C-alpha cells in the first residue's frame, strides 16, 4: 500500500521511522509534503541516506498533488493544528484513509466540519490518540469495563511535565492559543480522550481554572538565549546548535517570548452518567508522568504511567491487585507503534473505524475549559455541539 505524509515536523519523524522499520514492509512511503523543501531534504538525509534515488519518496510542496495520485491510499497528516480541517476534509473527499495527528482541530467549527465529512466518507479516520494504545491505558480501561471497581464515582487525573519540557511549549508556535486552541488542546487532547473512555459517557458540563504563574517576563533577560546575559545561570538556557532537526523549538526565552498560553490548568468535568472528573496539567514538575485515581464503589484504582504500575485496592474484602505493565521507553510508551499497527490492521481488514467524534468531544472539553477560564463560568457542551 502506498502512503504519504503531509507536514514534516517533529511528529512526522515517528511515522517515518515506523514505516522504515516495519519488518513486513506493509507501506511504501510514496510521497512527503512540506511547504519548506529543506525540511523534506532533512528527512531524506536523516532516515534514507543510502536509499537509491528510485526508492525515495516524491517531494512536493502542495499537498493537493498527493490527493491527485490514485495509488496513494493512506495519508498521515502531521501539519500545524490550524491546517487540520482543510487538509483532512480534502483527503477524505479524495478517497484517502487518514491518520490525523492530535488534536482534531482548533475550533469547534473545524472539528464539526471534519466530523461531518467523516460520516459521509467510506474511509478510515484514525486520530493520533497514542495513549489509547499503550499497555498501561489498555489495562486500565479493561479493569474499569470488567466491573472490578464497581460503580465508578469519580476520577482524578494529572499530567505533570518536566520543567524543561514545559518550557519547550513557550518556545514553539504552540505558545499562542490561536494556533492550537490552547495548551490543553495541544498537549492533553489524548488525556481528555482517555478520561472520556474511562467514564463511558459524553461530557456535559466543564469548568476550569488556570493561568501562567511562572513563565512570565524576567527583567534583564533577553528575548533570545544566545544574546542573554543571564545565560550561564539560567536552567532554561537553550543552545540553538543543539536543537534537533525539524524541531518546533526555537532558542528564544520561555519567559520573555510573546505568548498567551497557560503553564498550569485544572479542569472539572461532569459526565452525562453522573461521573465527575478532575484533570490537572502543569509545566513545572520534578517528575514527568501521568497519574490516575479511579474511585469505585468496590475498589480504588491508582495508576502511574511512568512506572507502569496499576494498583487496585478493595474497599471491603481487603487485598490489592497489582499490575506491572512493562512499557517501551520511547514512542509514548509503545503507543505510537501500537497505533500504527492498529491502523494498518483496520485498513487491511476493511474495518469501519472513525475517531472523529471522539476527537470532537476531546477538543470540545479543551475549548470549553478555555472559555470557562476566561469567563469564570460553567460551560454546557450540549449548547455547543451538533451531534
Domain ranges of the chain: 2-131+338-353, 132-331+362-383
Helices (H), ranges, 160-278: 163-169, 177-180, 183-199
Backbone phi, then psi, for 284, in 5-degree steps?
Answer: -125, 95
- Residue 50: predicted pLDDT: 86
Count of other CB atoms within 10 angstroms of residue 8: 27
- Low-confidence residues of the chain: pLDDT under 50: none
% helix, strand, coil for the chain, step of 5: 40, 25, 35
Backbone phi, then psi, for 43, in 5-degree steps?
Answer: -65, -40
Check: CB of residue 32 under 8 Å from CB of residue 43: yes
The position carrying cell 479493561 is 142
Under DSSP, is residue 97 helix (H, G, I), strand (E, B) or coil?
A: strand
Assigned C-alpha cell, 3: 502512503
Count of other CB atoms within 10 angstroms of residue 167: 22
Closest CA to 284 of 215, 209, 192, 186: 215
- Residue 191: predicted pLDDT: 98
- Residue 284: predicted pLDDT: 96
Check: CB of residue 354 under 8 Å from CB of residue 126: no
User: d(Cα 177, Cα 154) in Å, to the nearest integer?
Assistant: 29
- Residue 211: predicted pLDDT: 97
Bridge partners (DSSP) of residue 155 are: 277, 294
> CA neighbours within 13 Å on the CB side: how many for 91?
30
DSSP for 303-314 reads EETTTTEEEEEE
Residue 203 to residues 17, 274, 361, 376, 379, Cα–Cα distance (Å): 36, 10, 8, 19, 11
Q: How many residues does the chain have?
A: 387
Judged on CB neighbours under 10 Å (0-12, 13-18, 19+), 347 is buried
Find the farthest-apart pair of alpha carbons in the chain and give their distance in angstroms, rounded. 67
Judged on CB neighbours under 10 Å (0-12, 13-18, 19+), 194 is buried
In sequence order, which residues have a C-beta less than 8 Å from that of residue 28 and are 6 or more positions away? 1, 2, 3
The position carrying cell 464503589 is 297
What pTM, to 2 d.p., does this model score?
0.96
User: d(Cα 87, Cα 105) in Å, to the nearest integer?
Assistant: 11
Bridge partners (DSSP) of residue 270 are: 205, 276
Supply the Cα-derived Rg of the chain in whole angstroms. 21
User: d(Cα 355, Cα 100) in Å, to the nearest integer?
Assistant: 10
- Residue 40: predicted pLDDT: 94
The rounded Cα 285 to chain-centroid distance in angstroms is: 20
Query: Which homologous superfamily does the CATH classification assign to the domain defined by 132-331+362-383?
Result: Dihydrodipicolinate Reductase; domain 2 (3.30.360.10)
User: d(Cα 123, Cα 67) in Å, to the nearest integer?
Assistant: 14
Give the fold, CATH level 3, of 2-131+338-353.
Rossmann fold (3.40.50)
Across 34-45, b (16+ Cβ under 10 Å) vs e yields: beeeebbebbbe
Assigned C-alpha cell, 144: 474499569
- Residue 227: predicted pLDDT: 92
Check: CB of residue 215 under 8 Å from CB of residue 254: yes
Closest CA to 281 of 370, 152, 384: 370
Assigned C-alpha cell, 177: 492559543
- Residue 123: predicted pLDDT: 96
Amino acid at each position: 500500500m502506498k502512503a504519504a505524509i503531509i507536514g514534516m515536523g517533529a511528529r512526522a519523524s515517528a511515522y517515518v521511522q515506523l514505516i522504515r522499520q516495519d519488518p513486513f514492509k506493509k507501506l511504501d512511503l510514496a510521497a512527503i509534503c512540506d511547504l519548506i523543501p529543506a525540511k523534506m531534504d532533512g528527512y531524506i538525509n536523516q532516515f534514507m541516506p543510502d536509499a537509491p534515488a528510485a526508492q525515495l519518496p516524491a517531494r512536493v510542496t502542495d499537498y493537493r498533488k498527493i490527493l491527485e495520485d490514485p495509488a496513494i491510499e493512506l495519508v498521515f497528516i502531521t501539519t500545524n493544528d490550524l491546517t487540520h480541517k482543510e487538509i483532512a476534509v480534502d483527503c477524505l473527499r479524495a478517497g484517502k484513509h487518514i491518520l490525523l495527528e492530535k488534536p482534531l482541530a482548533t475550533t469547534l467549527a473545524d472539528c464539526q466540519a471534519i466530523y461531518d465529512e467523516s460520516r459521509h466518507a467510506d474511509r478510515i479516520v484514525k486520530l493520533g490518540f497514542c495513549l489509547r494504545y499503550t499497555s498501561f491505558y489498555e489495562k486500565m480501561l479493561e479493569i474499569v469495563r470488567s466491573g472490578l471497581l464497581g460503580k465508578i464515582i469519580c476520577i482524578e487525573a494529572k499530567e505533570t511535565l518536566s520543567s524543561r519540557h514545559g518550557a519547550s511549549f513557550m518556545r514553539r508556535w504552540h505558545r499562542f492559543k490561536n494556533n492550537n486552541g490552547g495548551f490543553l488542546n495541544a498537549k492533553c487532547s489524548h488525556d481528555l480522550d482517555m478520561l472520556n473512555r474511562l467514564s463511558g459517557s459524553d461530557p456535559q458540563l466543564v469548568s476550569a481554572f488556570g493561568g501562567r504563574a511562572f513563565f512570565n517576563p524576567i527583567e534583564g533577560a533577553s528575548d533570545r538565549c544566545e544574546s542573554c546575559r543571564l545565560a550561564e545561570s539560567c536552567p532554561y538556557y537553550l543552545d540553538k546548535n543543539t536543537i534537533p532537526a525539524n524541531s518546533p523549538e526555537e532558542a528564544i526565552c520561555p519567559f520573555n517570548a510573546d505568548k498567551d498560553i497557560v503553564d498550569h490548568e485544572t479542569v472539572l468535568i461532569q459526565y452525562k452518567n453522573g461521573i465527575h472528573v478532575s484533570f490537572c496539567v502543569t509545566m513545572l514538575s520534578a517528575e514527568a508522568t501521568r497519574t490516575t485515581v479511579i474511585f469505585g464503589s468496590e475498589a480504588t484504582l491508582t495508576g502511574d504511567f511512568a512506572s507502569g504500575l496499576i494498583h487496585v485496592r478493595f474497599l471491603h474484602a481487603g487485598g490489592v491487585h497489582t499490575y506491572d505493565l512493562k512499557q517501551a521507553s520511547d514512542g509514548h510508551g509503545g503507543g505510537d507503534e501500537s497505533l500504527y499497527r492498529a491502523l494498518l490492521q483496520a485498513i487491511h481488514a476493511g474495518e469501519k473505524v472513525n475517531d472523529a467524534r471522539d476527537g470532537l468531544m476531546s477538543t470540545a472539553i479543551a475549548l470549553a475549559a478555555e472559555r470557562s477560564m476566561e469567563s469564570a463560568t460553567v460551560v454546557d457542551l450540549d449548547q455547543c455541539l451538533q451531534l
